[in-house]
Amino acid sequence: MRKAVYFARKALGQAELIATVGDSVALGDGIEVRIDAQYFETAARAALKAPSAATCAAAADLYTGELLPDDLYVDWLEAPRSELVQLHLSLLRAGALWDRLIAAEPSDEPAYLELMEAALTAGNRAEAIRLFNALRQNLNVELGIGPSAKAVALYEQALANSPIDASGQTDRIRAALAWGLLHLNSGEFDKARAVAEETRQLAMAAGLVREVGEASALFALCAHMQGRWKEVFRTEFIDWARKRPDKVSQIFDGHLCLAEFCMCSAKGHQEIGSAALELLAVAEGAGSLPGRGLASLILGEAALFSGQMSEAERLLTAAEALLAEADAPSGRALALERLAELALSRGQKWQAGRLIQRALGIAAQSWIAPHLVIRLQGLLVRAAPTKPKALQAIAEGDRLLADQSHGCQPCSMAFRVASATVLAEMHELSQVGRRLDEAERIAGMWQGGPWAAAVWEARGVQRRAEGAESRALSAFEEAASSYAALGRPADEARCRDRIATAGLSQAV
């Protein structure tokens, strides 16, 4: 305590600010405390009683950011932090401070609409186009989310008199994709699919890699909503491997999240793994290098989930080499991610760390980098050699999740569960509960995969750290049974080992 007081006084620059009496620490006599959060709240509530742009802006200037940002998962802070965030946003809305509002809340569509209309009124079509693309990017974090019909209509108004050059063609492709998402969200799957097919051809002709992937994702989502994804993916893979083998990896990028979701469904890896044998034969016959790499990747994942570790290592290593030669960064990063998981299962944290760093560098080259990076961050937490390194990796993952561009919920699950598990093992229990509650909510939205089992396992680690051993054993048993039903023997065995650990400690 004396050391902490010394450093606090040194940081403050005035020793008299902190007084010590015996074992007690207090503020010095006559010291007046000014709490920035309280000061902001008082000013904000006063401004909202008679709002104007000036008064709201002045009050908003007092907001210095989220309350205690280094303690995001401490339970008692959730309510006051949320209240202050909402108060800040209310000020910006009441004062019509739209630019500041979209900086604070990048997915606030009404603010974008106000700014787009103002830009069009001023004759600034370029600004309206820029705003729409920013909105589209911020909303399109999770699959199937896009701007509203009003936003798309304003965008098309901005495009109405623009020349059909390369830039104008790109904007029109993006408008078509936005309409496709609207059709998808309205249940008009045939219309959405038609938009996806036409737009993908246009994007491919224009050399727009990201838009090719987004059109493929829209196409895949339509198939998923109609219960036909596996059939469509097979047809897509075969057609593109034969007709345009150089484009297979771009098409696959759009299917990635759904492929991973289906791979993780009840024994889905066995199903897709069997189908991948046919895809590999097709790719070899067509001379498609990326096709061979992607089929080998799928087979390697299936072997990994089935507990065939040596075969998984062989297939994943071959896949990474093929995809490197084919210049397919997304699939290559995923192959390295799985190899890192394999290394961790063998207790090789150093090797896993090297693979993760390689994967992070490659993932940055992909338009789906946010999906890949947050997945890899979960592995960084697990591979951390020391407690400070683990805490650093967790803090970085929290920062990524706070950034809207890394908000894909299924892709965030590995990080959420890993961070909760590692913190529980460190007995940093104040941060565990809320993390697992959020992970459990997401797992409930995506039924059929290993995420519910992973949450049960993490709950077991949490209960053990809390000293509730019987509850821990029940959670581990639930996780083990769930992994067994999914056909994941290695994961089941790990949970059984956790159960056995209790028996050994009791015997000692």
Q: What is the pTM of this model?
A: 0.81
Whether the per-residue pLDDT at 448 is higher than 70: the answer is no
CB 92 within 8 A of CB 60: yes
Q: Which two tokens stand for residue 194?
A: 């038609």
- The domain 368-508 is placed in CATH, from the list 1.40.20.10, 3.40.640.10, 1.25.40.10, 2.30.290.10, at 1.25.40.10
Report the distance separating Cα 198 and Cα 120, nearest Å. 29
Say which amino acid occupies 218.
L
Longest dimension (CA), the chain: 84
Dihedral angle over CA of 248, 253, 259, 260, nearest 10: 140
Q: Do you know the residue count of the chain?
A: 508
Write down the H helix ranges in 186-228. 189-206, 209-225
* 354-406 pLDDT, tens digit each: 999 999 999 999 888 888 999 999 999 999 999 999 999 999 999 898 876 65
Beta bridge partner(s), residue 26: 19
Report the distance separating Cα 4 and Cα 10, nearest Å. 10
CA atoms lying within 13 Å on the CB side of residue 457: 25
Whether the per-residue pLDDT at 23 is higher than 60: the answer is yes
**Backbone phi, psi, residue 21, to 5°:** -130, 105
Task: Give pLDDT, residue 98.
Answer: 97
The conformation of residue 77, written as its DSSP 8-state character, comes to G
Whether the per-residue pLDDT at 143 is higher than 60: the answer is no
Task: Give pLDDT, residue 217.
Answer: 86
Task: Give pLDDT, residue 495.
Answer: 96
Q: Could you give the 3-state DSSP secondary structure of residue 25?
A: strand
Element (H, E) at 187: none
DSSP letter string over 279-328? HHHHHHHHT-HHHHHHHHHHHHHHHHHTT-HHHHHHHHHHHHHHHHHTT-
Q: Of 246-250, 328-332, 389-393, 503-507, which range is least confident?
A: 503-507
Q: Residue 231's Cα: distance from chain center in Å?
A: 27
Q: Where are the beta strands (DSSP E) in 45-178?
A: none
Task: Give pLDDT, residue 213.
Answer: 86
Q: Of 89-93, 249-253, 318-322, which range is least confident?
A: 249-253
Element (H, E) at 52: none
Please report, for the chain, the start and end positions of each structural domain, with discontinuous segments joined by +: 1-33, 36-97, 368-508
Report the distance separating Cα 376 and Cα 374, nearest Å. 5
Q: Which two tokens stand for residue 60?
A: 């908003």
**Mean pLDDT score of the chain, rounded to an integer?**
88
136-145: string of b/e by CB count within 10 Å (b at 16+)? Answer: bebbbbebee
Report the distance separating Cα 141 and Cα 144, nearest Å. 9
Report the distance separating Cα 309 and Cα 305, nearest Å. 9
Q: How confident is the model at residue 291 (pLDDT cuts 50, 70, 90)?
A: confident
Compute and round to an integer the Cα radius of gyration of the chain.
26
Q: How confident is the model at residue 507 (pLDDT cuts 50, 70, 90)?
A: very low
Name the residue with higher pLDDT: 466 or 442: 466
Task: Give pLDDT, residue 263.
Answer: 66
- Residue 325's CB is within 10 A of a number of other CB atoms, namely 13
What average pLDDT score do residues 160-166 get?
64
CB 358 within 8 A of CB 349: no
Q: How confident is the model at residue 207 (pLDDT cuts 50, 70, 90)?
A: confident
Task: Give pLDDT, residue 273.
Answer: 75
CB 230 within 8 A of CB 274: no
Contacts of residue 113, Cβ cutoff 8 Å, sequence gap at least 6: 150, 151, 154
Beta bridge partner(s), residue 24: 21
Task: Give pLDDT, residue 508.
Answer: 40
